[in-house]
C-alpha cells in the first residue's frame, strides 16, 4: 500500500475509533504507531504527547502531526492531521444534525455513561504504559510525583508544568552528568 495512503487511513481509523477526546486516543495511537507500524518508539511517542500538550491545539491532532512529519515530512504531517480529524468532523456534523431528536432518551444517557467509564480505563492504561517507559530513575519518578501533586492541588497551566519539568530534567542531567530518564 502507498505509505501516504497508509498514513492517512491509519490515522483516520484512530480518529474514528476514539471517543472521549484526545487523551482517550493516546492508547490507540500507542498501539497503532508504536506496536503495529513502528513509526515511532515509546520514548518518541511520550515526547510527542508532552510537546502536543504544551502546543496550541488538540493533543491527539498535534501528536498525529508530529508523527506524520517525523515519518514522511510535511506531506506526512498534513495527511496524518487530516486523517485523524476527518472522522470527527463527519461524526460531529451528523450528531449535531440529529442531537435534539435523541438527547433526552435514557438509553443514550446510559450509553454515554458507559463510554465515559471506558475512556477513563483507556487513559489509565495509557498512563501505566507511558510510566513504564518514561519513569526510569529517581529523577524522573521525582518529577512525576511533583507534577502530579502540583496538578492535583494547584491550578497551574499544563504548559508551565511541562516546561518546568523539562527544565528540571535538563538541570538534573547537567548536574548528574548523565541523561535524565536513563537507567544507569
- Tens of pLDDT along the chain (184 residues) come to 699 999 999 999 888 876 666 677 778 888 888 999 999 888 888 888 888 877 877 788 888 899 999 989 999 999 999 999 998 889 888 878 876 777 678 887 788 788 888 888 888 887 888 888 888 888 999 999 999 999 999 888 888 898 999 999 999 888 887 655 554 4
Task: Say how far apart CA 77 and CA 94 lie, in whole Å.
Answer: 26
Query: Do 153 and 87 share a domain, yes or no?
Result: no
All 3 cell numbers of residue 4?
501516504
Query: Do 54 and 17 share a domain, yes or no?
Result: yes
Query: Do 141 and 72 share a domain, yes or no?
Result: no
Closest CA to 96 of 105, 85, 88, 84: 88
Distances (CA, A) of 65 to 68, 95, 159: 5, 26, 19
Q: Determine the structural domain holding residue 25 and report its residue range.
A: 3-134
List, in order, residues 6 or more apart from 182 with CB less than 8 Å away.
136, 137
Task: Say how far apart CA 71 and CA 11 lie, in whole Å.
Answer: 13
Number of domains forming the structure of the chain: 2
Query: Do 141 and 124 share a domain, yes or no?
Result: no
Query: Do 147 and 166 share a domain, yes or no?
Result: yes
Query: Do 75 and 152 share a domain, yes or no?
Result: no
Which of 119, 134, 149 is where one domain is finished?
134
pTM (predicted TM-score):
0.59
All 3 cell numbers of residue 170?
535538563
pLDDT tens sequence across 43-85: 888 888 888 877 877 788 888 899 999 989 999 999 999 999 9
Query: Do 128 and 152 share a domain, yes or no?
Result: no
DSSP secondary structure letter of residue 136: -
All 3 cell numbers of residue 61?
491532532
Backbone angles phi, psi at 183, to 5 degrees: -70, 140
Query: Do 84 and 126 share a domain, yes or no?
Result: yes
Query: Do 64 and 151 share a domain, yes or no?
Result: no
Per-residue burial over 146-158, b = 16 or more CB atoms within 10 Å of its CB, e = otherwise: ebeeeeeeeeeee
Query: Do 122 and 95 share a domain, yes or no?
Result: yes
Amino acid at each position: 500500500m502507498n505509505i501516504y495512503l497508509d498514513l492517512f487511513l491509519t490515522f483516520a481509523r484512530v480518529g474514528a475509533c476514539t471517543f472521549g477526546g484526545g487523551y482517550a486516543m493516546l492508547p490507540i495511537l500507542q498501539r497503532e504507531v508504536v506496536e503495529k507500524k513502528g513509526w515511532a518508539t515509546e520514548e518518541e511517542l511520550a515526547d510527542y504527547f508532552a510537546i502536543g500538550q504544551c502546543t496550541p491545539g488538540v493533543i491527539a491532532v498535534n501528536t498525529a502531526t508530529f508523527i506524520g512529519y517525523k515519518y514522511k515530512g510535511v506531506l506526512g504531517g498534513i495527511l496524518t492531521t487530516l486523517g485523524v480529524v476527518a472522522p470527527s468532523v463527519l461524526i460531529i456534523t451528523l450528531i449535531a444534525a440529529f442531537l435534539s431528536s435523541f438527547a433526552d432518551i435514557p438509553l443514550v444517557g446510559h450509553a454515554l455513561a458507559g463510554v465515559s467509564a471506558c475512556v477513563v480505563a483507556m487513559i489509565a492504561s495509557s498512563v501505566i504504559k507511558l510510566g513504564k517507559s518514561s519513569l526510569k530513575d529517581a529523577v524522573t519518578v521525582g518529577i512525576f510525583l511533583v507534577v502530579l501533586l502540583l496538578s492535583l492541588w494547584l491550578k497551574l497551566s499544563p504548559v508551565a508544568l511541562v516546561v518546568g519539568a523539562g527544565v528540571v530534567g535538563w538541570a538534573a542531567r547537567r548536574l548528574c552528568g548523565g541523561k535524565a530518564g536513563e537507567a544507569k
